[in-house]
Amino acid sequence: MAATASAATSVCSAPAKSDDPAWSHGRVVVGLKNSVICTYCDKHLRGGGITRLKQHLAGVTGQVGACKNVPTKVKWQMKQLLEALHKNQERKMKVITDSEKPSGLTDEDEDGMSSPSISKRKSKRKRINESDSKTRKRTQNCFSIQTTPNRQLSTECATDSNEAVENAKMAMAKWWYDANIPFSAAQSKYYQPMIDAIASVGSAFEGPSFHDLSGKLLKNSVNETQEYLLEIRREWRVYGCSVVADGWKNQNQASVLNFFAYCPKSTIFLKSVDVSAHENDPDTLFNIFDEVVLKVGVENVVQFITNNDYRYKAAGEKLEQRYGTFFWSPCAAQCVDLMLESFSDPRYFPHANETIEKARKLTRYIYNHASVLTLLREEVTNGRNLCQPAITRFATDFLNLQRLVKFRKGLIQMFTSNKWVKSSHAKSSTGEEITEIILQDEDFWFHCENMVKASEPLLRVLHLVDCQQKPAMGYLYDAIDKAKDAIGARFKNKVTAYVPYTRVIDTKWDIQLFSPLHLAGCFLNPGIYFRPTFVKQNEVIKGLLAAVTRLVPKSDVQDSISAQLEDYKKSSGDFGMPLAIRQREKLNPVAWWEQFGNDCPELQKFAVRVLSQCCCATGSEISWRTFEFNHSKKLNRLEYKRLNDLDFVRYNLKLRERNLNRTKDALDPINPQKIDLMEDWVANEPTLLDGEDSDWEMIDIPFTSLPLDNDDEIPFNDEDRSDATEMELMHHGDGTSSGLALTAFPQLGKPVFVVVAS
């Protein structure tokens, strides 16, 4: 045993017995034939050699125990090697059998073969071995470039391998920079599969040409995308869809509309249209909208969502009147954002604008000095960012105020620490100004706290309508009411303190956001309608009847739905089952109706279509920068058609990728792809600079910022301003602060503030 242990300790420098790529993941045991030690789990495989090691790493059962620590990529490589080995063996045996048993010869005849026949057989075997050698070399080319951190080879081999990997990365980087590819492209779901596919071909691979990419490969991608979307289109027959028109302006200030179709299975991209010449003409917009509706199918459309600009509203309402079978709806996220914009309007809340500008000055100073940003992440945020982008600009403002209040204690500790006091920044006039804001400006922190209390419930509503994991139609109406109640509670129900905020919400809701569809969704959501505290049953029933009249054109079906409504309201039949009652707030409303609404088929179908709809356009947005060139005026007709196909493929790939992987990466303040909504909070401002300190290499990649949670209590200082008078509150539109008790929406569970970049 001692001798074996001694041998095992010397295996680190033992050379591999062949140039098989699998040896990069194991260590040869000197003095023991066909024995090897796995690099990842240190398991000693006695016998079987390199083949047994491959089976161990690939997790092949029956021969040897599977490695529990092997990386997924290495496991996949070993499976490929074993599969190639198996195919080669099968082919070898077939060729040998065919060569040794010519047609018409029996086993007895074969025993009596002459020596020339034997010579021919040996020659055949030699050619087979040469073929196997070539195949093995090609396989080695596939995988030899893929190294692992624990690889232990001779110094020369390790140096050559590392050098080859670095050379490959540098070659990719040069192409990346020359082609001006955004760094975020490396986060694409299709990035590593592309590299694996190239590696599987080997060094002889020649990349697709310009004509391949813009010709047959693009055509093939369009066909593949159409096939994928066909599955989603089938869902429209059951769940209906919301057609979304989302507008943006490119660098030339051209107005572009992107059209999408949303259903719970997925959002799909339909087309992109430059409306610069027609944006002021509701009739032309109506014609464009009409073409999209016909493409989707009138029978599939439940609502048509645009922004609430009067021209889009006029075109949408005209479309609604023409068909009479669906609703035009404004984008709920835009309407909520307008509420937040009013919260920061100095005409109504005099201190709001000044408070936000001070907060921006603070964050801009931090994000423009590498050493200060590093100190912040080390001392205050635990590697996370102080600022985060939300889905809209005004939501970003209030979210960042929220984060400043959350990290106030840490900021005070940071700006009184020895590291800060001894730094050159602390001695500059700008550094002293920032320090004064953090340590001494009580008014600033007081107004921050009150703006957070007023805005936080609306940020929840904004997250609700933007969330792609469940349709929001059944929740929006009740969520707005909950937000108003929460604002009142946080200001201790002092009328002069909270009414200015709730008045803004009521005005925007009544004028811009109200739709019978929202009321119908609330009625059909059993978790809300049957809640004992819900007192607006009569109001939502009116909205429901309006929705039935519009969405169900056949009068006999309307009559059936009307009759079946009584069973739902009285909880009769399956609706009254103990299981159905318990699941009202646990199940998704659509799933609840599919499970318990079978006795009322017409009402069930109607409820499923209503509750399956979204409420806003923001969930469809990616990054419009990708499509800047596609709307150039200099394109000819053929190139414009090709770029439309490229739009179609690229955008639907993005949407499909987002459905598969909903995790969001952290904001990197030196990554321009992530700061579209953050420029006011992190952008360069010359007056805030005090020295160079712009070494971006010293900034580590930030961790993904965690959302504020129930456990993250925001410390408000009631005592500091407890002497505020009612007249002061009326004048400022602020209120005395109270502890932040987060009020969850029962249907949504634990409240979250996931408002990061798409």
32: nearest Cα among 45, 43, 51, 20: 45
44 in the same domain as 172: yes
φ and ψ of 272, to 5 deg? -130, 135
Residue 1 has pLDDT above 50, yes or no: no
**DSSP 8-state assignment for residue 699:** P
- How far apart are the two ends of the chain, measured CA to CA in Å? 59
Residues 186 and 225 in one domain: no
Beta-ladder partners of 261:
243, 268
* Separation of alpha carbons 469 and 93, rounded Å: 54
Does residue 69 share a domain with residue 201?
A: yes
Q: Let me know if residue 526 belongs to a domain.
A: no
| 123: pLDDT strictly greater than 70 | no
Domain annotation covers residue 464: no
> pLDDT (tens digit, 9 = 90+) per residue, 227-253?
888 888 999 999 999 999 987 776 666
DSSP 592-620: HHHHH-TTSHHHHHHHHHHHT----SGGG
Are 119 and 264 in the same domain? Answer: no
In a domain, 690, yes or no: no
Q: What is the pLDDT of residues 505-535, one digit of tens each?
A: 999 998 888 899 999 999 999 999 999 988 8
pLDDT of amino acid 149: 38
The pLDDT score that the predictor gives to residue 693 is 61
Mean pLDDT, range 669-677, rounded to an integer: 42
Over 159-171, what HEC string results? HHHHHHHHHHHHH
The order of strands in the sheet holding 35-38 is 26-28, 35-38, 44-46
Q: Is the domain of 202 the same as that of 303? A: no
Distance (Å, rounded) from C-alpha 470 to C-alpha 10? 58
**Taking Cα atoms as reference points, which of 142, 104, 129 lies closest to residue 20?**
142
Output the pLDDT for position 108.
Answer: 40
Q: Which of 175, 207, 239 is the last residue of a domain?
A: 207
Residue 594 pLDDT more than 80? yes
With H, G, I as helix, E, B as strand and everything else as coil, classify residue 39.
coil
pLDDT at 33: 75
How far, in Å, CA of 253 to CA of 724, rounded? 47
124 lies in the same domain as 266 = no
Residue at a domain's end among 660, 685, 714: 660
- pLDDT at position 450 is 92
User: Rounded CA gap, 167 and 206, in Å?
Assistant: 18
581: pLDDT strictly greater than 90: yes
- Kindly give, in sequence order, each residue whose CB lies less than 8 Å from that of residue 629, ignoring residues fewer than 6 positions away: 643
Highest mean pLDDT among 93-97, 189-193, 496-500, 743-747: 496-500
Beta strands 327-330 and 255-263: pairing type?
unpaired
Element (H, E) at 667: none
Rounded CA gap, 404 and 387, in Å?
A: 8
Q: Are residues 132 and 35 in the same domain?
A: yes
CATH number at residue 230: 3.30.420
pLDDT of residue 320: 93
Same domain, 259 and 146: no
247 and 197 in a single domain? The answer is no
Quote the pLDDT of residue 749.
Answer: 31
At residue 70, the pLDDT reads 85
Flag whether pLDDT at 324 surpasses 50. Answer: yes
pLDDT at 669 over 50: no
DSSP structure class, residue 183 = G
Checking if the pLDDT of 621 tops 60, the result is: no
Determine the residue type at 584: R
Burial 67-98 (b: 16+ CB within 10 A, else e): beebbeebebbbbbbbeebeebeeeeeeeeee
Residues 6+ apart with CB under 8 A from 604: 593, 594, 597, 598
**Mean predicted confidence (pLDDT) in 45-51:** 81
Number of domains, the chain: 2
Which of 176, 207, 238 is the last residue before a domain boundary? 207
* DSSP state at residue 511: I
321 and 236 within one domain:
yes
The whole-number average pLDDT for the span 165-172 is 88
Task: Give per-residue pLDDT as tens, 370-379.
Answer: 888 888 888 8
Q: Is 93 a member of any domain?
A: yes
At 665, which helix (H) or strand (E)? none
* 134: its two tokens: 């070539």
Contact call for residues 270 and 233 (beta carbons, < 8 A): no
Question: Domain of 193?
Answer: 1-102+114-207
Express as a percent the part of the chain with pLDDT over 70.
Answer: 71
pLDDT category at 568 given cuts 50, 70, 90 is very high
178 and 256 co-located in one domain: no
Of 387 and 559, more confident:
559
Tell me: do 134 and 279 sit in the same domain: no
Listed range (71-75, 97-101, 400-404) with the worst mean pLDDT = 97-101
